[in-house]
Structure 1
């Protein structure tokens, strides 16, 4: 029976989505719209890659067990049309094989083994998106990072597995491009625009999405915490959308990163700063430590 992690926060539709399997048909849009002001969601980058191979089923299982709210994954397509989890263009770094994933069938790729963070062979296999969504169903949300090229195919798998409302697909393209290419499914699932606030066109891109799509969440990237950065973060929040920020390394979050928190022990200058900007989704390479920090602050059940 799936653990009941958020039952005490009945205001959150989010709770029902990830803690109760019988509630897993709730739309992630509704979940994000109902994030409690005292809750911050933890997103684990490439799942729990420090303790299991990145983009592996085991790494995702670890995240589910530790209470992470969302896992981030990356997609590639095989020679015979299957969507698999893979970050790089080539399989060399993360598997015992070499070359491009599209040059192999799924059966051929399954003969290789995933490598751990130190580059050593493990017993784990390259998973398919379908396997991942069946594992995550009713348990945890999924953020597809490198996957826009497979938007339509991914949507079909989400439909097949009954997990359309548990997954976010994203892109840094402007609204006009995304809707021209995928407008038929854009309203059927959760799409998250990614906007680099260092881009001179950032506000124009934000305005296009707010005007036409009204996203429930934006991913914002920024190398500095300038007044202009803070103004644009507030503008997105004032539109009613949540903000998703990457804390993995300094240039993604204005220097308020994971290592500042964990290695330098400057929690309030890193994760604390992010929270004070009313940001409610933090992607991290340190999910266990971030969960501990948020729990101490009563910011995560």
Structure 2
């Protein structure tokens, strides 16, 4: 039975070393028993991502949140994360030789599948024949999804941030988002202001994740003409000052702190309480390779009541 609990997240307690236990526990969770974020129109998306003092801190699962047995950029991996916490799912999009958009981080297939070759030099038919490998190199039974499959899966379940690989035309990604009606829950990642401007010109209704790491970059962003209510501010891979985060909040923008890499490793060595300090310092979303652990650490910071509460549905 699924019910709303305001903003009380029911998460399974665990330690960082219990990745295998996580996998085993998931096998007993009934299909469909997921924590969800449901945003169904672009006006709701803007309201959700507009910063307020009662905002709900979230995790963003880098490359979908891979764990042992769950490879990166797989729909099954996305669902594994949602069994523990509502989440933003960050995914990577590449394009095959025959112009099919698939989820893949690397230019080549060798690291994450049992295939070989470059994604843009092979056909989708070939990619369909492959299986994904997890981060330990173990073969799984999971297939490489298309972007369209991922977008259709996410509706009513999760918010997405879409990382577009260099060889992929922005227009093709926007076309698939339009085809699937995913405008409200799929935000596009841009690493440069010219890229952000182009994406905004192609799809002015979409949310954009834009890198803004200092005061100079705030100024450069404002020069793009993109409204603040279309931006989620990625503040980089190093913790920013509370004053800087407050500047972004004053413009109504959520902040995403990339804790993947050094900051995640600090949490492993120093304890997951470090994630709490990032949120208390003004990070609204933690982009992490450890979404389950990070979400468990920050669950105590969820406000008892929030203007965002209607967007969340928690597994019982």
Normalised by the shorter chain, which TM-score bucket?
0.7 to 0.9
Residue by residue, what CA displacement relative to the aligned partner does 1:2-33 show, whole Å, maximum 9, x if unpaired?
x555x625xxxxxxxx545xx62353222112
1 CA distance for matches of 2:40 and 2:264?
A: 31
3-state secondary structure, aligned to 2:192: coil
Distance across 1 between alignment mates of 2:216 and 2:252: 21
Q: Which runs of 5+ in 2 are unaligned?
A: 8-35, 305-313
2:262 matched to 1:247?
Answer: no
Structure 1 residue aligned with 2:41? 25
**Which position in structure 2 is the counterpart of 1:102?**
120
Conserved in 2, the CA contact under 8 Å of 1:196 and 1:221? Answer: yes
User: Which of residues 220, 242, 250 is equivalent to 2:235?
Assistant: 220
Deviation of residue 157 (structure 1)? 1.2
Question: Residue 43 of structure 1 contacts residue 71 of structure 1 at CA under 8 Å; is this kept in 2?
Answer: yes
Residue 145 of structure 1 aligns to a residue whose secondary structure is: strand
Q: Distance in 1 between matches of 2:156 and 2:119?
A: 29
- Counterpart of 1:259? 265
Tell me how far 1:212 sits from its aligned partner.
3.9
TM-score (norm 1): 0.81
2:297 aligned with 1:280, yes or no? no
**Structure 1 CA distance, aligned partners of 2:289 and 2:3?**
25
Residue correspondences, number: 274
Contact 1:216 1:240 in 2 (8 A): no
Q: What do you get for the CA RMSD once the two structures are aligned?
A: 2.7
Contact 2:200 2:206 in 1 (8 A): no
Distance 1:212 1:25 in 2: 19
Equivalent pair of 1:47/1:59 in contact (CA under 8 Å): yes
Query: For 2:95 and 2:72, how far apart are their aligned partners in 1?
Result: 17
Match of 1:190 among 192, 207, 216: 207
Determine the C-alpha separation between the residues in 2 that align with 1:295 and 1:232.
24
Displacement of 1:131 in angstroms is: 0.7
Partner-residue secondary structure (3-state), 2:287: strand
**CA–CA distance in 2 between the matches of 1:222 and 1:115?**
27
Cα distance in 1 for partners of 2:200, 2:247 equals: 25
Deviation at 1:223, TM superposition (A): 3.7
Supply the distance in 2 between the matched residues of 1:201 and 1:278 (Cα, whole angstroms): 19
Q: Aligned equivalents of 1:102 and 1:196: distance in 2? A: 32
Q: Secondary structure at the match of 1:49?
A: coil
Look up the SS of the partner of 1:221 in the other structure.
Answer: coil
| 1:85-96 mapped onto 2 (5 Å cutoff) | 85-96=103-114
Deviations 1:150-177 (Å, cap 9, x if unpaired)? 3221121112212111011021211x55
Task: Measure how far apart 1:145 and its partner are.
Answer: 2.1
Task: Give the number of the structure with larger relative contact order, counting CA–CA contacts within 8 Å between residues 6 or more apart.
Answer: 2
Residue 184 of structure 1 deviates from its aligned partner by: 3.4
Any gaps of 5 or more consecutive residues in structure 1?
10-17, 251-256
**Cα distance, 1:299–1:98 mapped onto 2, change above 3 Å:** farther
Pair 298,19 (structure 1): closer, same or farther in 2 beyond 3 Å:
closer
Query: Within the alignment, does 1:290 sit opposite 2:306 as a pair?
Result: no
CA contact (8 A) 1:4 1:19 kept: no
Shift, 1:43, TM fit:
0.9
1:249–1:258 CA contact under 8 A, matched in 2: yes
Q: CA deviation at 1:91?
A: 0.9
Q: Deviations over 1:178-230 (max 9, x none)?
A: 32x34433312111211344xx9534434425x543244211115465xxx55
Which among 230, 240, 244 is matched to residue 232 of structure 1? 244
Q: What does residue 44 of structure 1 align with?
A: 61
What displacement does 1:113 show? 1.1
